[in-house]
Structure formats: structure tokens, C-alpha cells
């Protein structure tokens, strides 16, 4: 009995200590006079989307306008502008090229009318120009073969560029980017050996573009898994091939073996920026150290994982990714802004782990609301001794702080209490906006209505309303301090007034 009594006492002491520890707030000290540096909004300048033909849909344009409204993004990237369904390339009975830019004009006119420029991915191979019929596994079956005739490929690139300049003017088109192909180190490119044949494709494409007008910007290698950048720069230098930027891709659940050649267990919230730093450093140590780095695809997952891309998890993941990637890249393109997207086929239900910020039916996800809040950050970043907070200053001098409570998607963590102590701040009030599983997350309402596979119009209206962020909470600062509670996967944006 005595032993059991002692065990109970010991357990009670341990539990009491654990509760006290859980309730003890973390402390973040905000010093308005701390050193600061420019903080351009590199995460919201460009977004990815599916493939070219989708740009002709009103649902695509509607989602684009909604994301433009909360981020003011400037560029959109999509695959397959040369897919046969877009109709640009054909050949007559004698094998001579026949061009048709009708759909292209409708697509680019629609983008530009909404204040978004194309980040042009030159892909994939038109059937009649392909050396072989090598179809990718995606639902829309793009041909990933090299061209049968590089003279005809050169002419396609030249006629494409000439048409764009004739329609939109060189002052406009020179502000676009032209990226050669997509992820040639994977099964999106069937040339063998992959790297050498991609160099050939790149060389022809870059020279054909520059021959039309040297002001056109071209780059690559547009690889997955942060690959080939150093070899690409060396090749362009040795062969005197034009290059204006370097691009690559990575996802949070990529493997260290594929990116670094190691067997490290790199967590999802560290992978993206470690990979970007790898390429950033390769550029810095190359013979072209000033080449801009454009990260033309990233996300927390390359799979369809509802607990990741559809969930409030994305708030802390995105915020911490911005914190880590600051200064490493000129632009990061989130893949994607919309679930008007068909790589795996026609969307079957609104929440399946799609990559988009907006689900089918125009229903915003927590990631959409996260981008909306992060847009409010200032353009000066102030030093802060925390790995779960980001402090910025806006042009009007006001401070904007973002706090988050990260946990991996497979294991929800405990709630977190944060006390912020402000130094050198005259503000008396704080406006607090939050995204977490109960705020800015449509799932509680969707689950309550039975998770319909095909929501009716009335249900869609209800879901869109449920996804809206409420007005910010106004709180007083007491003796220059503010305490905020964050549930697991919670993010809070605090603006001082």
C-alpha cells in the first residue's frame, strides 16, 4: 500500500509539473529599434496552376481574381502551352508547320486583363513535332518526347515569340519570363541521356528566343528536387548559351537522398528552404553569381494529402517557410492557386488534398486565408530571437507580427501561450487575426453538413461564408505586453495601433 501511495504522489507531482509547464507562456521580446532589412514579398509574386487550356475556363479566372485580390500577385505559371489541345502547332500534308495562336491569345488576353503576366513554361511536345509518341502518366497525356527536327522546334519558338511581341509589344513581353520545359530530370522529359538532351533543348530554345529579341528573358533548368543548377550554369557558361535566371522546384516531403544525396530525416518544415539554400549557394559560387533564382514550384506536399494542403496545418508551415527562405530567392511560386486542376483527372470532391488555395466550387482553404494575412506583413523585417515568429515594419511605421504554433500533420501538438513584450513601442492596442482549425477553416461546417461529394449551390454559398475570416479582435496592451493563445496549427497576425 505504501508503494502504491508513493506512486500516486509521484504521478500527481509529475502531472502538476506538466500542466504548469504547458501553461507557462513562451516569451517573445519585440524591440522596435532592432536591426532591420528589406523584406520584399517574394512568396506572393507568382503562383502556379495546372495547364494552359484551363486558363480558358471562367472558374480558373474567378479563382485567379480572388487570389489576386488578396496578394496582388504578378505572374502565373502553367504547363503545356504546346499541347495539341491548345492548337498552336500543326503540319500540312507536306510536313510544313502550320501555326494557330487563337487559344493562346484568348489565354494571355485573359491573364493580362486581370493584371497577371505569364511566366511561360515552354512545354510539352506537339504530336506532329515529336520524335516519338511518349505520353506522360498525367490524365491529359502530354507528350514528353524530344523534337524530331530541331529546325522545326526553333521555328516554333521563334514564331511563338514573334507573335507575342506583335500582339503585346516588346516593352510588355520583355517583362515576362520564358522557362524551358518542366522537370527534365524526371519523367517529364524522355530524352536520353536526360541531362545532355535537355541541354540541347535548352540551347535551341534560348538562342531562338534571343534571336527574335535579346530583351526576352530565358532560363532553366526547371528541375525537380533542386537538381542540375550548378551543371546548368557551367554548361551555359562554357557553351555561351543565353541565361537570365535559374529555376528549380522542391516539395516539403521530397527525400534527402534525392536532393542532398544523404540519408537525413529532414522534416517537412525544413526541406524547402534547405533545398533553396543549396541552389542559392551553388549560384553564388558559380561563374555567374548574380543570376536570379526563381523557385517556380513549391508546396508542403507533392502528393494529395488532405491533412496537409487542405488543412490549417498550412498556416504555420507557410509562415515558417517565409522566415527561413528570406533572402534566398527572388520569387517562390506556390503550387497552385486553384484546384481547377486535372493532373490526376477530373476533380471528384472538394477536399481531396488538392494543391490549390481554393477548392472546387470556389471554396477558400486555410492556405488562402494564410496568404491573405501574410500579405499584411511589412516590407522591412526586424530581427527577432524566435523560430516561430516574424516581425515586420510597414511603410507607415506600424509593426506587424506573425506568431504560429507548428506541429507535423501526422501528430497534433499542444496549445501554446505566447507573451509578447514590446520595447520602444508607443502603441496601446493590437488587432489580432487568426487562422486555425476553428477560424478561417471551412472543414467544421463541411463535416457538419455530411461532407457532400457534390455540394449544392446553397451549400457552396454556406461553405464560402464559413471560410471567411472574421474581423480582427482588438486587444489592449497591458504594460507593453500581450498574451496570445495558439492552438496546434494556429497562426496569428498582430498589427499594432
Residue positions annotated with a catalytic role: 183, 297
How far is residue 117's CA from residue 75's CA, in Å, rounded to a whole number? 5
The 3-state DSSP composition of the chain as helix, strand, coil percent (nearest 5) reads 35, 25, 40
Going through 197-330 in order, the beta strands assigned E by DSSP cover 218-223, 245-251, 293-299
Please provide residue 138's backbone torsions phi and psi, each rounded to the nearest 5 degrees.
Answer: -60, 155
Q: Per this entry, what is the length of the chain?
A: 497
How far is residue 229's CA from residue 224's CA, in Å, rounded to a whole number? 11
Backbone torsion region of residue 331, taken as left when φ is above 0, otherwise alpha when ψ lies between -120 and 50, otherwise beta = beta
User: Three cell numbers at 267?
Assistant: 522534416
Interacting residues of 249 by C-beta distance below 8 A, sequence separation 6+? 183, 222, 223, 224, 225, 226, 295, 296, 297, 298, 335
Which string of DSSP letters, residue by residue, matches 361-418? TTEE-HHHHHHHHHTTS-SEEEP-S-SSEEEEE-TTS-EEEEEE----TTS----EEE
Q: How are beta strands 389-393 and 429-435 bridged, if at all?
A: unpaired
Cβ-in-10-Å burial (0-12, 13-18, 19+) of 352 comes to middle
Interacting residues of 238 by C-beta distance below 8 A, sequence separation 6+? none
Cβ-in-10-Å burial (0-12, 13-18, 19+) of 48 comes to buried
CA distances from 384 to 1, 260, 427, 487 (A): 53, 30, 18, 22
Partners of 179 in beta bridges: 121, 219
Please provide residue 21's backbone torsions phi and psi, each rounded to the nearest 5 degrees.
Answer: -65, -45
Tell me which H or E stretch contains 52.
none
Q: Which of 46, 134, 47, 139 is nearest to 85 (CA)?
A: 139
Amino acid at each position: 500500500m505504501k508503494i502504491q501511495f508513493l506512486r500516486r504522489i509521484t504521478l500527481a507531482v509529475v502531472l502538476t509539473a506538466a500542466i504548469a509547464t504547458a501553461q507557462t507562456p513562451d516569451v517573445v521580446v519585440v524591440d522596435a529599434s532592432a536591426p532591420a532589412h528589406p523584406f520584399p514579398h517574394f512568396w506572393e509574386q507568382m503562383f502556379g496552376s495546372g495547364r494552359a487550356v484551363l486558363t480558358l475556363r471562367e472558374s480558373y479566372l474567378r479563382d485567379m481574381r480572388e487570389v489576386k485580390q488578396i496578394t496582388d500577385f504578378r505572374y502565373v505559371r502553367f504547363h503545356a502551352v504546346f499541347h495539341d489541345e491548345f492548337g498552336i502547332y500543326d503540319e500540312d500534308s507536306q510536313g510544313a508547320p502550320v501555326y494557330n495562336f487563337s487559344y493562346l491569345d484568348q489565354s494571355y488576353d485573359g491573364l493580362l486583363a486581370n493584371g497577371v503576366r505569364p511566366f511561360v513554361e515552354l512545354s510539352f511536345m506537339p504530336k506532329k513535332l515529336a520524335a516519338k509518341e511518349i505520353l506522360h502518366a498525367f490524365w491529359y497525356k502530354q507528350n514528353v518526347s524530344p523534337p524530331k527536327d530541331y529546325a522545326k522546334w526553333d521555328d516554333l519558338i521563334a514564331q511563338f515569340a514573334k507573335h507575342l511581341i506583335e500582339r503585346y509589344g516588346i516593352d510588355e513581353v520583355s517583362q515576362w519570363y520564358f522557362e524551358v520545359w518542366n522537370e527534365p530530370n524526371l519523367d517529364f522529359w524522355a530524352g536520353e541521356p536526360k541531362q545532355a538532351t535537355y541541354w540541347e533543348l535548352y540551347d535551341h530554345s534560348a538562342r531562338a528566343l534571343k534571336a527574335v529579341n535579346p530583351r526576352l528573358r530565358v532560363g532553366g533548368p526547371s528541375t525537380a528536387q533542386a537538381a542540375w543548377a550548378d551543371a546548368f550554369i557551367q554548361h551555359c557558361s562554357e557553351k555561351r548559351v543565353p541565361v537570365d535566371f535559374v529555376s528549380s522546384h522542391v516539395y516539403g516531403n521530397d527525400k534527402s537522398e534525392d536532393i542532398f544525396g544523404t540519408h537525413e530525416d529532414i522534416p517537412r518544415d525544413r526541406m524547402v528552404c534547405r533545398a533553396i539554400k543549396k541552389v542559392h549557394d551553388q549560384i553564388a559560387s558559380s561563374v555567374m553569381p548574380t543570376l536570379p533564382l526563381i523557385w517556380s514550384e513549391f508546396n508542403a506536399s507533392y502528393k494529395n494529402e488532405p491533412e496537409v494542403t487542405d488543412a490549417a496545418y498550412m498556416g504555420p508551415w507557410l509562415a515558417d517557410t517565409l522566415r527561413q527562405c528570406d533572402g534566398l530567392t527572388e520569387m517562390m511560386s506556390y503550387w497552385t492557386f486553384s484546384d481547377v486542376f486535372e493532373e490526376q483527372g477530373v476533380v471528384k470532391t472538394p477536399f481531396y488534398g488538392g494543391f490549390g488555395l481554393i477548392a472546387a466550387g470556389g471554396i477558400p482553404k486555410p492556405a488562402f486565408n494564410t496568404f491573405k494575412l501574410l500579405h499584411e506583413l511589412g516590407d522591412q523585417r526586424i530581427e527577432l530571437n524566435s523560430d516561430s515568429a516574424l516581425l515586420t515594419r510597414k511603410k507607415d511605421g506600424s509593426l506587424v507580427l506573425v506568431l504560429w504554433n507548428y506541429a507535423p500533420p501526422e501528430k497534433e501538438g499542444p496549445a501554446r501561450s505566447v507573451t509578447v513584450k514590446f520595447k520602444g513601442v508607443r502603441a496601446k492596442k493590437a488587432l489580432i487575426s487568426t487562422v486555425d482549425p476553428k477560424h478561417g477553416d471551412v472543414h467544421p461546417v463541411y463535416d457538419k453538413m455530411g461532407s457532400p461529394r457534390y455540394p449544392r449551390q446553397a451549400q457552396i454559398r454556406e461553405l464560402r461564408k464559413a471560410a471567411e475570416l472574421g474581423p480582427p479582435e482588438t486587444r489592449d496592451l497591458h504594460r507593453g505586453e500581450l498574451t496570445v493563445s495558439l492552438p496546434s496549427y494556429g497562426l496569428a497576425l498582430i498589427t499594432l495601433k
